[in-house]
Structure 1
Amino acid sequence: MSKFDAIRPYYDAEVNQALQNAINHPIMKAMMNFTFPDVEDEVWKTQLGKTHSIRDFQCNFIYEAIQKVLKKSSDGLSTSGFEKLEQNTSYLFISNHRDIILDTSLLNIALFDHGLVMTASAIGDNLVKKDFLKSLSRLNRNFVVQRGLPPRELLQSSQLMSEYIEQLLLRENRSVWIAQREGRTKDGNDATHSGVLKMLAMASGNRNAIDYFKEIKIVPISISYEYDPTDALKMPQLMAEANQETYIKGSSEDFNNIISGIIGQKKRIHIHVGDILDKELDEIKEENTNPNKQIQALTQIIDESILKSYKLWPTNFIAYDVLHKTERFSDRYTEQEKSLFARRLEMRIDGKNDQMKESFLAMYANPVVNKMKYNDAV
């Protein structure tokens, strides 16, 4: 028994049995029929039966599934900054988070295409309550983040996760993806939560936390979608928060978000790899001796990297101009793009609800507002 058994992905020795157990599940059949529409079921079942490692499952099945998703529901994925990364080297990718499944899946597609180490990725336990989904996540090298725990148990869980992330990065040479905050960004304001960095620092032991952060090679990642396929689904929670009401998530809400994120129209998608944080950490260490101030400074550096390198699309500039009743960015989009966006807004939300309309527009406009804080970024 390993102390990480409650949260870790499958070991390769467990993969084939897990696939055998999942092979006849309706979701597996739907996924394979979507990915390989012209292939008889017995063919992919036979191939799954010959699969004995996570890498083989990811490369031969998940990679193809995500390529099909891109083909059917987007105008393509573009990337930048991957040339900064070295092969056979592990990194801690800290990323903004917009889509439950695709953010990490698309990053891994890009890492694979560039011949780089793919990630183990954090996933909330609220998303893997059903046995099949938990098994599928473990087959895709996800590790579980336990949520909603009492303070004492949360501390223990954070300690365990920080130790597991350290083991992946420094002992197994496995890259790790983790979101900059708990849960997805609903309002377009990407911000790093200091609690994430404090959790990571728990594994530093006797080392200075900043020295440990240098050792694990932190890389900020920025991902942007021209259209958020779950934009309308985020509205109820945003409305509740705006009205200072407690939002209670529906029983099938997470699953509906996963499916909508996969099949919903995204148009163009971009992933940018920021600089590997190094000299920035030296400067933090020189300027601050207080651990909390060091964490705060690192939070700001990660935010700056993600916000400055976030790719803005015509939808972002349109939303900004409509929301602020201006034509400031009218040279960044066409009239056709503006009318398509207006049509999307009309179809996806109640246009008579001014508060909802404003929240919808702000979701797309806020990345522009945030980027404008950096003079040369927009």
Structure 2
Amino acid sequence: MSKFDEIRPYHDHEVNAALNGVARHPMMKALMQFTFPDEEEGFWLSQFKGIHSISEFQHRFISQTVRQIIRQSSEGLSTSGFDQLDKNTAYLFISNHRDIVLDTSLLNLVLLDHGLIMTSSAIGDNLVQKTFLHVLAKLNRNFLVQRGLSVREQLESSKLMSEYIDHLLHSENRSVWIAQREGRTKDGNDATQQGVLKMLAMAACEQPLTQFFKKLKIVPLSISYEYDPTDALKMPQIMAQFKNEVYIKSSGEDFKTMLSGILGQKKRIHLHAGKVLDSELDQLECTSEGKNKQLQAIAKLIDHSIIQHYRLWPTNYIAFDLLNNSGQYSGHYTEEEKQLFERRLEMRINSSDTELKKSFLAMYANPVVNANKESRMSMP
């Protein structure tokens, strides 16, 4: 047995049995009916028998599912920066995190369409408690991030994950996706948690830290949705934090959020692949003292790229102006777009609750605030 067996996705020789084991599951049937609405059940059942690798499953089925999601729940997906990446190189994509399923699914579709190496992607094991979801995650080359562990267990788990990511990148030449923080960003403030970088650095051994991170070929990834289909679902946790209360998820909340993210309206979506962190890391080696200082500096580099290339939509500017009772950004949206957003606000939350309304608007407005901060910091 490999030491990675507890967290790894399926090996190709395991795919056929696993896929056909869930082929008649009601959730698989629903997924395939959504993907191929004009086909009978026998269509995919017969094709499943010939699938013997994750790549085949992703190319022939999951990519079609994601295209159908884009068609039915958005006004299109645009991209930038991916033409600067090498088709034979494995990269570590570190991205802002908005949606449980779609962030990594959209990235892999873009990588597929650009002929780039698709990712093995991190997913919390709390999200795949149902047997079907666990199997589907492993069929999509997800590896498990173990949650709810003791401090000692967490340390061992982080070390294992660090070694596995290093193994994927350098032994399998497999790209990897991880979020810049644990859990989704719910307030629109995208910031890299130093703990994520500490986990990665566990595999550095005796290498200088900046040289280790240079070998990871980090690509900061900016993911921007015009509408967040889970915006209202994020409000209870934000309000609990506002009131200094402990937030406890309800039963089935994660699954409901996954479905809402997939099927909910997103309008336009944009993914930007930033430049690979390289020479900037050489400069850090000369100027930053101590491991923590270097990790802080690397986090800032990632944040700068993600925020700088985050696509700001009319919804972001509208929310900023509504929150600040201003018309500062009125040139970035039409009156019709403003009315549509205000109607969405009224439909999604109780807008008579002042604090709730402020939090909802801040979720959309904060990317504008952060972009302005980055712009000021970059000025000579």
Partner of 2:131: 131
Q: Per the alignment, in what secondary structure is the counterpart of residue 191 of structure 1?
A: coil
Aligned positions of 1:270-309 closer than 5 A? 270-309=270-309
Partner of 2:12: 12
- What is the distance in 1 between the residues matched to 2:9 and 2:209? 27
- What is the distance in 1 between the residues matched to 2:173 and 2:198? 22
Partner of 1:194: 194
- What is the distance in 1 between the residues matched to 2:170 and 2:347? 49
Aligned positions of 1:133-212 closer than 5 A? 133-212=133-212
Partner of 1:341: 341
Aligned positions of 1:45-84 closer than 5 A? 45-84=45-84
**Cα offset for 1:162?**
0.2
Partner of 2:368: 368
Aligned positions of 1:219-258 closer than 5 A? 219-258=219-258
- What is the distance in 1 between the residues matched to 2:167 and 2:64? 29
- Structure 2 residue 265 is the aligned partner of structure 1 residue 265: yes
**Cα offset for 1:134?**
0.5
Partner of 2:103: 103
- What is the distance in 1 between the residues matched to 2:214 and 2:375? 28
- What is the distance in 2 between the residues matched to 1:197 and 1:351? 39
- Could you tell me which amino acid in structure 1 is paired with residue 133 of structure 2? L
- Could you tell me which amino acid in structure 2 is paired with residue 324 of structure 1? N
**Cα offset for 1:216?**
1.3
Q: Per the alignment, in what secondary structure is the counterpart of residue 373 of structure 2?
A: coil
**Cα offset for 1:289?**
3.1
**Cα offset for 1:165?**
0.2
- What is the distance in 1 between the residues matched to 2:284 and 2:84? 22
TM-score (norm 2): 0.98
- Could you tell me which amino acid in structure 2 is paired with residue 346 of structure 1? E
Structure 1 consecutive aligned stretches of length 4 or more whose deviation exceeds 4 Å: none
**Cα offset for 1:374?**
2.6
Deviation sequence 1:208-255 (CA, Å, 0-9, x none): 121111111011000000000000000110110100000000110000
Greater CA drift, 282-291 or 319-328: 282-291
- What is the distance in 1 between the residues matched to 2:302 and 2:216? 15
- Could you tell me which amino acid in structure 2 is paired with residue 22 of structure 1? V
- Could you tell me which amino acid in structure 1 is paired with residue 22 of structure 2? A
- What is the distance in 1 between the residues matched to 2:10 and 2:375? 46
- Could you tell me which amino acid in structure 1 is paired with residue 10 of structure 2? Y
**Cα offset for 1:146?**
0.6
- What is the distance in 1 between the residues matched to 2:372 and 2:207? 37
- What is the distance in 1 between the residues matched to 2:125 and 2:167? 21
Work out the percentage of aligned pairs sharing the same amino acid: 62
**Cα offset for 1:352?**
1.2
Deviation sequence 1:10-49 (CA, Å, 0-9, x none): 0000000001111011110000000001111011110011
Q: Per the alignment, in what secondary structure is the counterpart of residue 220 of structure 1?
A: strand
- What is the distance in 1 between the residues matched to 2:134 and 2:244? 33
- Could you tell me which amino acid in structure 2 is paired with residue 149 of structure 1? L
Q: Per the alignment, in what secondary structure is the counterpart of residue 220 of structure 2?
A: strand
**Cα offset for 1:83?**
1.2
**Cα offset for 1:325?**
0.6
**Cα offset for 1:153?**
0.4
Partner of 1:91: 91
**Cα offset for 1:313?**
0.1
- Structure 2 residue 51 is the aligned partner of structure 1 residue 27: no
- What is the distance in 1 between the residues matched to 2:199 and 2:347? 41
TM-score (norm 1): 0.99
- Could you tell me which amino acid in structure 2 is paired with residue 125 of structure 1? D
